[in-house]
Amino acid sequence: MSRFRDRTIRRAVGQALHQYNMIADGDTIAVGLSGGKDSLTLMWALHERLRRIPIHYSLFGIYIDLGFTESPSQRIERYCAKMDYSLRVEHTDYGIQGHSAENRENPCFLCARLRRKRLFEIADELGCNKLALGHNMDDIIETLFLNMCYSGEISTMVPCQPFFGGKLVVIRPLAYVHEQAIARFAQDHNFPDCPNPCPTAKTSKRSEIKEMLNNLYQKNKKIKGNIFRSMSNVKHDYLLKPR
Protein backbone atom coordinates (compact mmCIF):
# COMPACT_ATOMS: atom_id res chain seq x y z
CA MET A 1 0.00 0.00 0.00
CA SER A 2 2.87 2.38 0.82
CA ARG A 3 4.40 1.88 -2.64
CA PHE A 4 1.03 2.53 -4.25
CA ARG A 5 0.73 5.81 -2.33
CA ASP A 6 4.27 6.76 -3.38
CA ARG A 7 3.31 6.16 -7.01
CA THR A 8 0.14 8.23 -6.58
CA ILE A 9 2.16 11.21 -5.34
CA ARG A 10 4.86 10.77 -8.00
CA ARG A 11 2.30 10.52 -10.80
CA ALA A 12 0.33 13.60 -9.73
CA VAL A 13 3.50 15.66 -9.22
CA GLY A 14 4.87 14.55 -12.58
CA GLN A 15 1.60 15.51 -14.28
CA ALA A 16 1.68 19.04 -12.80
CA LEU A 17 5.37 19.51 -13.61
CA HIS A 18 4.85 18.54 -17.26
CA GLN A 19 1.52 20.33 -17.69
CA TYR A 20 3.01 23.66 -16.61
CA ASN A 21 6.65 23.05 -17.65
CA MET A 22 7.71 23.90 -14.10
CA ILE A 23 11.31 22.64 -13.99
CA ALA A 24 14.14 22.77 -16.53
CA ASP A 25 17.65 21.37 -16.56
CA GLY A 26 20.00 23.45 -14.40
CA ASP A 27 17.29 25.10 -12.29
CA THR A 28 18.13 26.13 -8.74
CA ILE A 29 15.00 25.66 -6.68
CA ALA A 30 14.21 27.06 -3.24
CA VAL A 31 11.62 24.96 -1.41
CA GLY A 32 9.51 26.67 1.23
CA LEU A 33 9.42 24.32 4.22
CA SER A 34 6.95 24.82 7.05
CA GLY A 35 7.44 21.48 8.77
CA GLY A 36 3.94 20.44 7.75
CA LYS A 37 3.06 17.38 5.72
CA ASP A 38 2.59 19.33 2.47
CA SER A 39 5.99 20.97 2.30
CA LEU A 40 7.82 17.81 3.46
CA THR A 41 5.98 15.78 0.81
CA LEU A 42 6.99 18.38 -1.78
CA MET A 43 10.66 18.19 -0.75
CA TRP A 44 10.56 14.36 -0.85
CA ALA A 45 8.95 14.32 -4.30
CA LEU A 46 11.39 16.80 -5.86
CA HIS A 47 14.41 15.12 -4.23
CA GLU A 48 13.26 11.62 -5.20
CA ARG A 49 12.72 12.60 -8.85
CA LEU A 50 16.37 13.48 -9.31
CA ARG A 51 17.40 9.82 -9.47
CA ARG A 52 14.80 8.96 -12.12
CA ILE A 53 14.86 11.79 -14.64
CA PRO A 54 17.44 12.87 -17.25
CA ILE A 55 17.72 16.48 -16.05
CA HIS A 56 19.44 17.90 -12.99
CA TYR A 57 18.39 20.68 -10.65
CA SER A 58 19.47 21.85 -7.18
CA LEU A 59 17.21 22.07 -4.12
CA PHE A 60 17.52 24.38 -1.10
CA GLY A 61 14.98 24.12 1.70
CA ILE A 62 14.06 27.36 3.50
CA TYR A 63 12.26 27.44 6.85
CA ILE A 64 11.00 30.80 8.13
CA ASP A 65 10.77 30.62 11.93
CA LEU A 66 7.95 33.01 12.88
CA GLY A 67 9.17 33.61 16.45
CA PHE A 68 6.57 31.65 18.40
CA THR A 69 7.69 29.95 21.62
CA GLU A 70 6.87 26.41 20.46
CA SER A 71 8.97 26.52 17.29
CA PRO A 72 9.53 23.23 15.39
CA SER A 73 12.76 24.52 13.80
CA GLN A 74 15.07 22.05 15.58
CA ARG A 75 12.92 19.06 14.59
CA ILE A 76 12.91 20.26 10.98
CA GLU A 77 16.70 20.72 11.05
CA ARG A 78 17.24 17.19 12.41
CA TYR A 79 14.90 15.67 9.84
CA CYS A 80 16.49 17.51 6.91
CA ALA A 81 19.97 16.48 8.07
CA LYS A 82 18.82 12.86 8.25
CA MET A 83 17.34 13.04 4.74
CA ASP A 84 20.38 14.90 3.34
CA TYR A 85 18.31 17.98 2.41
CA SER A 86 20.00 21.37 2.25
CA LEU A 87 18.23 23.70 4.68
CA ARG A 88 18.42 27.32 5.72
CA VAL A 89 16.55 28.41 8.85
CA GLU A 90 15.63 32.07 9.07
CA HIS A 91 14.62 33.31 12.54
CA THR A 92 12.09 36.17 12.52
CA ASP A 93 9.37 37.75 14.66
CA TYR A 94 6.75 37.82 11.87
CA GLY A 95 4.24 35.78 13.84
CA ILE A 96 4.60 38.10 16.84
CA GLN A 97 4.18 41.16 14.59
CA GLY A 98 1.10 39.61 12.99
CA HIS A 99 -0.52 39.05 16.38
CA SER A 100 0.45 42.39 17.88
CA ALA A 101 -2.15 44.70 19.42
CA GLU A 102 -1.96 47.01 16.39
CA ASN A 103 -2.81 44.17 13.99
CA ARG A 104 -5.50 42.10 15.70
CA GLU A 105 -8.00 42.38 12.86
CA ASN A 106 -6.10 40.26 10.32
CA PRO A 107 -2.92 38.66 11.74
CA CYS A 108 -2.69 36.12 8.90
CA PHE A 109 -2.39 38.74 6.15
CA LEU A 110 0.60 40.58 7.62
CA CYS A 111 2.41 37.41 8.71
CA ALA A 112 1.94 35.75 5.30
CA ARG A 113 3.06 38.89 3.46
CA LEU A 114 6.24 39.24 5.53
CA ARG A 115 7.00 35.52 5.24
CA ARG A 116 6.53 35.51 1.45
CA LYS A 117 8.70 38.63 1.04
CA ARG A 118 11.52 37.03 3.03
CA LEU A 119 11.22 33.79 1.06
CA PHE A 120 11.68 35.78 -2.15
CA GLU A 121 14.70 37.58 -0.70
CA ILE A 122 16.41 34.39 0.49
CA ALA A 123 15.71 32.63 -2.82
CA ASP A 124 17.47 35.53 -4.53
CA GLU A 125 20.39 35.37 -2.08
CA LEU A 126 20.78 31.64 -2.83
CA GLY A 127 20.75 32.28 -6.59
CA CYS A 128 17.47 30.40 -7.10
CA ASN A 129 15.35 30.96 -10.19
CA LYS A 130 12.39 28.91 -8.87
CA LEU A 131 10.54 28.86 -5.55
CA ALA A 132 8.52 25.69 -4.89
CA LEU A 133 5.61 25.93 -2.45
CA GLY A 134 3.60 23.05 -1.00
CA HIS A 135 0.07 24.16 -1.88
CA ASN A 136 -2.11 21.22 -2.90
CA MET A 137 -5.40 20.80 -4.77
CA ASP A 138 -7.46 21.52 -1.64
CA ASP A 139 -5.51 24.75 -0.99
CA ILE A 140 -6.19 25.96 -4.54
CA ILE A 141 -9.93 25.29 -4.20
CA GLU A 142 -10.06 26.95 -0.77
CA THR A 143 -8.28 30.03 -2.12
CA LEU A 144 -10.89 30.32 -4.88
CA PHE A 145 -13.66 30.45 -2.26
CA LEU A 146 -11.68 32.75 0.05
CA ASN A 147 -11.23 35.26 -2.75
CA MET A 148 -14.89 35.07 -3.76
CA CYS A 149 -16.20 35.39 -0.20
CA TYR A 150 -13.76 37.95 1.21
CA SER A 151 -12.25 39.78 -1.79
CA GLY A 152 -15.16 39.80 -4.22
CA GLU A 153 -13.16 38.27 -7.08
CA ILE A 154 -12.85 34.95 -8.87
CA SER A 155 -9.18 34.00 -8.64
CA THR A 156 -6.89 31.48 -6.98
CA MET A 157 -3.25 30.39 -6.71
CA VAL A 158 -1.88 29.19 -10.02
CA PRO A 159 0.53 26.23 -10.35
CA CYS A 160 3.22 28.28 -12.12
CA GLN A 161 3.55 32.03 -11.67
CA PRO A 162 6.45 34.32 -12.73
CA PHE A 163 7.48 37.28 -10.56
CA PHE A 164 9.84 40.22 -11.10
CA GLY A 165 9.69 39.97 -14.88
CA GLY A 166 10.34 36.22 -14.79
CA LYS A 167 13.49 36.45 -12.63
CA LEU A 168 11.80 34.17 -10.09
CA VAL A 169 9.05 31.68 -10.86
CA VAL A 170 6.81 30.29 -8.09
CA ILE A 171 5.83 26.68 -8.75
CA ARG A 172 3.31 24.47 -6.97
CA PRO A 173 4.10 20.86 -7.94
CA LEU A 174 1.43 19.46 -5.55
CA ALA A 175 -1.36 21.27 -7.43
CA TYR A 176 -2.92 17.97 -8.57
CA VAL A 177 -2.48 16.14 -5.24
CA HIS A 178 -5.38 15.70 -2.78
CA GLU A 179 -4.74 16.71 0.83
CA GLN A 180 -5.92 13.27 2.03
CA ALA A 181 -3.33 11.55 -0.18
CA ILE A 182 -0.62 13.73 1.36
CA ALA A 183 -1.82 12.89 4.89
CA ARG A 184 -1.61 9.14 4.18
CA PHE A 185 1.78 9.58 2.51
CA ALA A 186 3.12 11.50 5.52
CA GLN A 187 2.04 8.66 7.83
CA ASP A 188 3.75 6.07 5.63
CA HIS A 189 7.01 8.02 5.72
CA ASN A 190 6.96 8.91 9.43
CA PHE A 191 7.36 12.63 8.92
CA PRO A 192 8.30 14.47 12.12
CA ASP A 193 5.44 15.82 14.21
CA CYS A 194 5.67 19.59 13.79
CA PRO A 195 2.41 21.17 15.06
CA ASN A 196 1.68 24.65 13.76
CA PRO A 197 2.56 27.01 16.65
CA CYS A 198 0.37 29.84 15.30
CA PRO A 199 -2.38 30.64 17.87
CA THR A 200 -4.94 31.48 15.17
CA ALA A 201 -4.21 28.59 12.80
CA LYS A 202 -7.46 26.80 13.64
CA THR A 203 -9.68 29.87 13.70
CA SER A 204 -8.67 31.54 10.44
CA LYS A 205 -10.97 32.33 7.52
CA ARG A 206 -9.27 29.52 5.59
CA SER A 207 -10.23 26.99 8.27
CA GLU A 208 -13.86 28.17 8.02
CA ILE A 209 -13.82 27.70 4.23
CA LYS A 210 -12.19 24.29 4.64
CA GLU A 211 -14.95 23.16 7.01
CA MET A 212 -17.66 24.40 4.63
CA LEU A 213 -16.11 22.55 1.67
CA ASN A 214 -15.57 19.34 3.65
CA ASN A 215 -19.28 19.32 4.45
CA LEU A 216 -20.00 19.52 0.73
CA TYR A 217 -17.49 16.80 -0.13
CA GLN A 218 -19.08 14.41 2.38
CA LYS A 219 -22.45 14.77 0.62
CA ASN A 220 -21.11 14.13 -2.88
CA LYS A 221 -17.61 12.84 -3.61
CA LYS A 222 -17.65 14.32 -7.14
CA ILE A 223 -17.90 17.91 -5.92
CA LYS A 224 -14.19 18.48 -5.27
CA GLY A 225 -13.16 17.28 -8.72
CA ASN A 226 -15.92 19.31 -10.36
CA ILE A 227 -14.86 22.51 -8.57
CA PHE A 228 -11.21 21.94 -9.51
CA ARG A 229 -12.06 21.30 -13.17
CA SER A 230 -14.32 24.35 -13.28
CA MET A 231 -11.30 26.62 -12.80
CA SER A 232 -10.00 25.58 -16.22
CA ASN A 233 -13.47 25.51 -17.81
CA VAL A 234 -14.63 29.11 -17.43
CA LYS A 235 -17.51 30.26 -19.65
CA HIS A 236 -16.86 33.99 -19.80
CA ASP A 237 -20.09 34.66 -21.74
CA TYR A 238 -22.05 33.52 -18.69
CA LEU A 239 -20.38 35.84 -16.19
CA LEU A 240 -21.27 39.43 -15.33
CA LYS A 241 -19.61 42.39 -17.04
CA PRO A 242 -16.96 44.24 -14.96
CA ARG A 243 -18.49 47.05 -12.90
Asked if the structure places residue 243 within a domain, the reply is no
Q: Is residue 141 a part of any domain in this protein?
A: yes
Has residue 150 been placed in a domain? yes
242 occurs within a structural domain:
no
- The answer to whether residue 59 sits within a structural domain is yes
Instruction: Pick out the chain residues at pLDDT < 70.
Output: 1-2, 101-106, 201, 203
Flag whether 23 is in a domain.
Answer: yes
Domain-located, residue 189: yes
* Nearest of 131, 142, 206, 220 to residue 178 by alpha carbon: 142
Q: Which domain, by its residues, includes 217?
A: 2-237
pLDDT of residue 96: 76
pLDDT at 1: 57
3-state helix, strand, coil in the chain (%, to 5): 50, 10, 35
What confidence score (pLDDT) does residue 103 get? Answer: 65
Q: What is the pTM of this model?
A: 0.93
pLDDT of residue 174: 98
Which CATH number do you get for residue 144?
A: 3.40.50.620
Q: How many domains does the chain have?
A: 1
pLDDT at 29: 98
Which DSSP category does 68 fall into? -
Q: Which amino acid is at 142?
A: E
| Res 198: pLDDT | 74
**Is the residue at 132 inside a domain?**
yes
